[in-house]
């Protein structure tokens, strides 16, 4: 039958020559390729013992930032969630009370803030959309896990740890 692509090749079955029948040249050729690879630089990185330096543009795990007084910057405006092409971000907003002035910078804050790391494509659009400089993809990469539910990161994993304000003022004074 006529081939549609016209790329069909007719294979000729020539009788093998003497050298082809003894296989020795083919074995020597194969061995020479193997030996050549012994002296080549190995491109494999033995992770996790060996870690390649990260690129300056590396986007890792998100972190929700605090201001200079240690208060959460996020105001639960939802812009990051709206800009996310993977619909990986969800949140529930709450009103700040008088007693919570030291915890949250804005009148509204995210009582719940979750990112589904299995959906996230680390595009960085949430970081760009945030008007409060509250979210950055400046962490390391997301670690492997066994269950899908463990890839939904809440505030316990996302909010950056509290820092010592006295130390910060000392470093800025120096
Ligand atoms: S990095 Fe991109 S995909 Fe991931 S949460 Fe942000 S906007 Fe969504
Ligand atoms: S992280 Fe930024 S963009 Fe997202 S809800 Fe908080 S303040 Fe808004």
Task: Render pLDDT for 46-66 as a digit per residue (tens, 0 to 9).
Answer: 888 988 888 888 999 999 999
Mutational pocket test of ligand 2: of 66, 67, 78, 79, the residue with most ligand atoms within 8 Å of the beta carbon: 79
Q: Whole-model pTM?
A: 0.73
Atom of ligand 2 nearest to the CA of 135: 1
> What are the pocket residues of ligand 2 if the criterion is a CB atom closer than 6 Å to any ligand atom?
74-80, 129-130, 132, 134-135
- Is residue 113 within 8 Å of 98, Cβ to Cβ? no
Give me the percent of the chain exceeding a pLDDT of 70. Answer: 92
Q: What is the mean predicted confidence (pLDDT) over 127-135?
A: 97
Higher pLDDT, 3 or 39: 39
Ligand found nearest the CA of 64: 2
Q: What is the pLDDT of residue 174?
A: 45
Closest CA to 88 of 125, 64, 117: 117
State the burial class of residue 104 (Cβ atoms within 10 Å of its Cβ: 0-12, 13-18, 19+): buried
110: tokens are 């995210």
Atom of ligand 2 nearest to the CA of 75: 7
Closest CA to 80 of 70, 88, 72, 71: 88
- Is residue 73 within 8 Å of 64, Cβ to Cβ? yes
Q: What is the pLDDT of residue 167?
A: 56
Contacts of 11 (CB under 8 A, 6+ apart): none
Residue of minimum CA distance from atom 7 in ligand 2: 74
- Classify domain 63-163 by CATH architecture: 2-Layer Sandwich (3.30)
Contacts of 136 (CB under 8 A, 6+ apart): 62, 63, 65, 127
Q: What is the mean predicted confidence (pLDDT) over 10-39?
A: 92
Q: What is the pLDDT of residue 172?
A: 45
Atom of ligand 1 nearest to the CA of 115: 5
Higher pLDDT, 82 or 165: 82
Find out whether the beta carbon of 126 lies less than 6 Å from any atom of ligand 1.
yes
Query: For the chain, what is the largest distance between any 2 Cα atoms, rounded to a whole number of angstroms?
Result: 94
139: tokens are 């962490």
The answer on pLDDT for 135 being more than 60 is yes
Q: Encode 110-120: b = buried (16+ Cβ within 10 Å), e = exposed.
A: beebbbbbeeb
Residue of minimum CA distance from atom 2 in ligand 2: 130
Atom of ligand 2 nearest to the CA of 133: 2
Distance between CA atoms of 114 and 126, rounded to whole angstroms? 13
């Amino acid at each position: 039958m006529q081939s549609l692509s016209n790329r069909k090749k007719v294979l000729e079955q020539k009788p093998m020559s003497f050298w082809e029948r003894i296989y020795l040249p083919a074995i020597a050729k194969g061995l020479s390729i193997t030996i050549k690879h012994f002296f080549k630089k190995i491109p494999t990185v033995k992770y996790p013992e060996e870690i390649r330096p990260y690129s300056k543009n590396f986007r890792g795990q998100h972190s929700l930032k605090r201001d200079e007084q240690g208060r959460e910057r996020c105001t639960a405006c939802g812009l990051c969630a709206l800009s996310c092409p993977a619909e990986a971000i969800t949140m529930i907003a709450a009103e700040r009370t008088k007693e919570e002035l030291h915890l949250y910078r804005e009148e509204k804050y995210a009582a719940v803030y979750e990112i589904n790391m299995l959906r996230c494509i680390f595009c960085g659009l949430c970081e760009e959309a945030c008007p409060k400089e509250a979210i950055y993809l400046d962490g390391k990469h997301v670690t492997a896990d066994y269950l899908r539910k463990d890839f939904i990161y809440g505030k316990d994993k996302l909010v950056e740890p509290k820092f010592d304000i006295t130390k910060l003022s000392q470093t800025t004074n120096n």
